[in-house]
Chain A
C-alpha cells in the first residue's frame, strides 16, 4: 500500500477539473498549472527515489488484491518515465504561456493539457491492461481536443483523420483485450504473464500479440506512422511538443511493457517483427527527415527515427539493449520536447516554416542558433549529451545479439538525423537573409512582433517570447545534465532494464508470491 503512486494521476486531474471553472482567468490558470507542474516533478522524484531504494512499489486500488482489482505499479522504468514526462510537461507548459494565444487559453487549453497528462502518467503506472486502454482513451480524447482547438482549416483537415486512426486502433485494442481475456482469462499484466508462461505462447497468443503490436504501433508511430507527419503538423508548436514528447512515447512504453512482460515467451517470432518494423521506421523516417525542406516535417520525421531506435533496442532483447531502451526513452522524451520548443521559436523568429525563406538568423538570435546546434548533437548522440549513452547501449545490445545489419541501419539513421538538423542549422542560421527578412529586421523588435501578429499570412508569429527561452534552457540543462550525470542515470536505467529483462521481478512484486 503506497498512496504516493496515485498522486501523479490525481494532481493533474484535480487541476484539470479545477481549471474548468475558471476559464476566463488565464492568469490563475497559469499559476495553478505551474504549481501543479512543480508538485508533479517532486512527486515523481520522490517516487523514483523510493523505487530505487525500496524496489518496485505497488498500490492496490480499493484494496482489491491482484489479480482481481486494478493495481498501480511503479517499477523503475515507469517511475523514471513519469519523472522525465513531468519535467518535459512543465517545460512545455512554460512554452505554452509564451506561444498559445489567449483565445485558446480561454477555451480550456490548460484543462485539456492536464487531462492529457492524466492519461500519460496513468498509462505509465497502471498494471492492468484494460485500465491501460482507459488511460489511453483519456490521453487520446484530450489530444483530440488539443489538435482541434483553434479550428483552423489545416487543423480541420487533419483532425478527422487523426481521430479516425486513433478510434480504429482503440477499437482494435478492445478486440485484442477481448481475445486475450478469452485465451487466458485475466487482465492483470503480471498475472497475464504468468498464465501465458503456463500455457505456452502458441499460435493463438502470437496472433493476439501481433494484434497488440499493431494497436500500439499505430499509436507510437512505429512503422504504421502514415498519419503522424500530417497530424503533428496541424496544431500549434506547444501541442506538437507535447505530442511528440509524450504521446508517441506512451505507445512505445506500451509496446515495451507488453513485449517484455506479457508476450515475452516467443521472442524469435514477436521480436523479429518488431526488429523489422523498427528498421523500416528508421529508414523511412530518415529518408523523410532528409528529404523535406519545411521544418515541421523534418521535426516530425525525427520523432519517427527516435521511435524506431527504441523499438530496435527492444528487439535486441539483450540486457544492454534493455538498459539502452530505458536510457534512450528518457533522453527522447526530454529531447523531443526540446526539439519542438526550439522549432517553434525558430519559426517564430523567421516568420516562416520553409527553409528556403530563412537565413542569417544567427546574427539576430545567436542563443537560439547554438541551442539548435546542441540539439542536433544531442539527437545524433555526441558524447557529452544525453543521446550518447542510450545509443551506445542499444547498438551494443544489437551487436551482441548478432544483428549487424540492424545496428548499421540504426547508426545510419543517426547520421540522417544529424544531416537533417544540420541542414536546418546551416540554412536557417547561416547564409544570407532573404528579402522577406530584411523588411522586418529594420523595425524595432516589439513593433515587429506587433506587425507580424496582425499579419494573418504568418500563422507562427506569436510563438517566441522570454518564457519560451526559459523553457528551452530548462530542457537544455536537463539534456546536458543527463549526459554529464550519465553514470548516475545509468544506475537507475539498468535497474529498470533488469526488471524488463526479468519479468519475474515485476510479477513477484505485484502478485506477492
Chain B
C-alpha cells in the first residue's frame, strides 16, 4: 500500500511539473488518489466486522477514514471537473494549453482584437 501511494505521488508530481495543462490536471487527480490511499493506510488496514453498535462484535473496522475518503473523493471529483472546464476555456481564450506562455498570450490577444 505504502509503495502504491509513493508511486502515485511520484507520477502525480512528475505530471504536475510539466507545462501542459492537461497533464497537470491528470497529475493533481493522481495525487489526490494517492492521498486517499494514504488515508486508508494510515488508519490501519484492520479486518473486522461492520462498525454497528449493539452488534456484539468486539473487533470492528474504524469507519472514520472511509467517511473522510468519501468526502475527499467527492470534493476532488468536483474540483477536477471544474479544472477541466477551466482548462478548456483557457485554451479557447488564449489559444494554448500551456501554463504561463507569455508569447502565446500576446498572440492570443492579437487574435482576439
A471 to B109, CA, bound (A): 34
**Contact residues of B between 89 and 108, Cβ < 8 Å to A:** 89-90, 93-94, 99-100, 105, 108
Contact flags (1/0) for A116-157 with B, using CB distance below 8 Å? 000000000000001001100100010011001001110011
B31's partner among A159, A160, A171 (CB-CB below 8 A) is A171
How many Å lie between the Cα of A187 and that of B43 in the bound state? 12
Chain A residues in 8 Å Cβ range of B72: 133, 174
B28 touches A167 (CB 8 A): yes
Q: Is the interface of B mostly helix, strand, loop or mixed?
A: helix
Interface string of B12-43 (1 = CB under 8 A from A): 00001000010010001001100110110011
* Chain A residue contacts of B108, Cβ below 8 A: 153
Instruction: Check if B90 sits within 8 Å of A160, measured CB to CB.
Output: yes
Whether B31 pairs with A168 at a CB distance below 8 angstroms is yes
Residues on B with beta carbons closer than 8 Å to the beta carbon of A156: 86, 89-90, 93-94
Q: Is the CB of A174 within 8 A of B39?
A: yes
Q: Given A141-B82, A153-B112, A178-B39, check contact A160 B21 (CB 8 Å).
A: yes
The reply on A269 being an interface residue by CB < 8 A is no
In the complex formed, the residue of A with least CB distance to B32 is: A171
In the complex the two chains form, is A159's CB within 8 Å of B42's CB? no
Whether, in the assembled complex, B83 has its beta carbon less than 8 Å from a beta carbon of chain A, the answer is yes
Q: Are B16 and A164 in contact (CB under 8 A)?
A: yes
Most A C-beta atoms less than 10 A away, residue of B16, B90, B99, B109: B90
Interface size (B, Cβ < 8 Å)? 35
Residue A177 interfacial (CB < 8 Å)? yes
Q: Does B1 reach chain A (CB closer than 8 Å)?
A: no
Are B86 and A148 within 8 A (Cβ)? yes
Collect the chain A residues with CB atoms within 8 Å of residue B32's CB: 167, 171, 174
Task: Please tell me if the beta carbons of B112 and A168 are within 8 angstroms of each other in the complex.
Answer: no
Secondary structure type dominating chain A contacts? helix
- Chain B residues contacting A145 (CB-CB under 8 Å) are 82
- A182 interface residue, CB < 8 Å from B? yes
Q: Does A161 contact B (CB under 8 A)?
A: yes
Q: Which residues of B contact A160 (CB under 8 A)?
A: 21, 24, 83, 86-87, 90, 99
Among A153, A163, A175, point to the contact of B38 (Cβ < 8 A).
Answer: A175
**Residue of A whose beta carbon sits closest to that of B105:** A157
Q: Are B42 and A168 in contact (CB under 8 A)?
A: no
Whether B100 contacts A157 by the Cβ 8 Å rule is yes
Could you tell me if A164 and B35 are in contact, using CB atoms closer than 8 angstroms? no
A168-B28 in contact given A156-B89, A182-B42 (Cβ < 8 Å):
yes
Report the minimum CB–CB distance from A147 to chain B (whole Å). 10
* Any A CB within 8 A of the CB of B79: yes
Among residues of A, the one whose C-beta sits closest to the C-beta of B13 is: A168
Q: Which of A163, A164, A177, A179 contacts B68 (CB 8 A)?
A: A177
Contacts of A187 in B (CB 8 A): 64
Residues of chain B lying within 8 A (CB to CB) of residue A153: 93-94, 105, 108-109, 112
Whose C-beta in chain B lies nearest to the C-beta of A167?
B28
Does residue A64 face the partner (Cβ distance < 8 Å to B)? no
Q: Mark A232-248, 1 if CB is under 8 A from B, else 0.
A: 00000000000000000
Additional 15 contacts, C-beta under 8 A, given A168-B31, A171-B28, A171-B35:
A130-B68, A141-B79, A157-B105, A160-B21, A163-B82, A170-B75, A171-B31, A174-B36, A174-B39, A177-B68, A178-B42, A179-B42, A181-B39, A181-B68, A187-B64
List 23 interface pairs A-B (beta carbons < 8 Å), by A numbering.
A130-B68, A134-B71, A144-B79, A144-B86, A152-B93, A153-B108, A156-B90, A156-B94, A157-B90, A159-B90, A161-B99, A163-B79, A163-B86, A174-B36, A174-B38, A174-B39, A174-B68, A174-B72, A177-B39, A178-B35, A178-B42, A181-B65, A181-B68
